[in-house]
Amino acid sequence: MTTAKRGWMLYATLLVVFWGVWGAFSSQPNSRYGYPNEMIYIIWAFTMLIPAYFALRGHRFDRRPAAALWGLLAGLTGAGGQLLLFQALADGPAYLIFPVVSLSPVITVLMATVLLRERMARMAVGGVVAALAAIVLLSIPGGGGGTHSHGPWLLMAILICVAWGAQAFCMRKAALIGVNDATTFGWMTISGLLLVPVAFAMMGGLPSGAPWQAPALTAVTQVLNAIGALFLVMALSRGKASVVAPVTNALAPVLTIVLSLAVYRTLPNVWGAIGIVLALVGSTLMVYSDEKSGEDTEAAGAEAAPAAPSAAAAPRS
C-alpha cells in the first residue's frame, strides 16, 4: 500500500478521535450554562487560528486565484451551514433536522463520482451504503416526538446538507489542483472569521450573565473541532472524497456514543446500536477495498515495468 493511502487513513483516524471527543462534550456550554450557539460559533471561528498557525508555519501560502476560490468555497459552505443550522434548530425539531443534515456525505459521494470521476469497487459501494445508513441511524435521538413535518426548517436542513456535502468536495478539488493543505485550511479560517459579524447580528449582542466556565469550556471543545477540521482537509487531500467523507461521518458519532456511555452513563437506543454496527462494517469494507485497490495497482505497475538492463547489455559510456 502506498504512503498516500496510509496517509489518509491516519488523518481520518485522528479526525474521528478529535471529532468524536468534541461531539461528546460540545453541547455542554449550551445545556449546562445556556450559552448561545451563535457565541459558540464565534469562539470556534477564532479557535481555527490555532491549528491554522501550526499548519501554515513553514509552508508556502498558495496565492493563486484558484486556491482562493476553492479554499473560500470550502470555508463558506462549512461555516455558512453552521450558522444556518442555528436558525433551523430555532424553527424546527432537532430529531428531524439532524437526520436530513447527516446525509451530506451522499452529496459528497455524488459530486466526487460525477465531477471528479472517482471510481469505487463493489465492496466499497457496499461500504458507502452501510456507512450512510449508519449516519442516519446514529442521528436519531432516543426519545422525543412532535408534529412538525414541514416548514422553513426543512428547506434550511436540505441547504445545510448540500453545503456540508459540497464542502468536502471543495477540499478534495483544491487538493487535486495542487493546493497544499495549509493554504486550504487558511482560507477556511478566513471564511469562518468573515461570518463572525453575521453571528453577532443573529445573537443580537454579547450574552450577559454567563459564567466564565461557559466560554472556557466552549474554547476547549471547539479547539478539538478546529483541529479535526484540519485533519479532514489532510485526509481529503490524500484519499478519495467518496470514501473519506462516509468513513469519517460514520465513525465519529460512534466514538461520541462510546464516550457518552462512559461519562454520562447513557445507552444508545436500538437505532443507535444498529448504526454503530453498520458504521463499523461499512468503514471496514471501504478501508479494505481501498487497501486492496492500492495493492492491485502496485502489482500491475510492477508487472508493466520493464526489466532493468543487465550489466552486459547496459550501454557503455
230-264 pLDDT per residue, tens: 999 999 999 999 889 998 888 888 888 888 888 87
Residue 303 lies in a domain: no
- % of residues, the chain, pLDDT over 90: 44
The pLDDT of residue 291 is 66
The pLDDT of residue 2 is 45
* CA dihedral sign, ordered 13, 139, 286, 111: negative
Residue 120 lies in a domain: yes
Residue 279 lies in a domain: yes
* Structural domain total, the chain: 1
Q: Which residue has the higher pLDDT, 122 or 167?
A: 167
Residue 57 lies in a domain: yes
> With left for phi above 0 and alpha for psi between -120 and 50, is residue 2 left, alpha or beta?
beta
Residue 297 lies in a domain: no
pTM over 0.85: no
82-96 pLDDT per residue, tens: 999 888 887 777 767
259-305 pLDDT per residue, tens: 888 887 777 778 888 888 888 888 788 777 766 665 554 455 545 55
143-157 pLDDT per residue, tens: 444 445 566 888 898
The pLDDT of residue 92 is 79
C-alpha span between 178 and 246 (Å, rounded)? 23
Q: What is the helix (H) or strand (E) element at residue 189, kind and residue range?
A: helix 181-194
Max alpha carbon distance in the chain (Å)? 86
Residue 71 lies in a domain: yes
Domain that holds residue 78: 3-205+213-292
Give me 250's grid cell. 460514520
Residue 289: other Cβ atoms inside 10 A: 20
Residue 314 lies in a domain: no
Distance of CA 196 to the CA centre of its chain: 21
Enumerate the H helices of 195-240 as residue ranges. 196-203, 213-236
Residue 313 lies in a domain: no
CA angle 16, 18, 21 (to 5 degrees): 100
24-34 pLDDT per residue, tens: 888 889 888 98
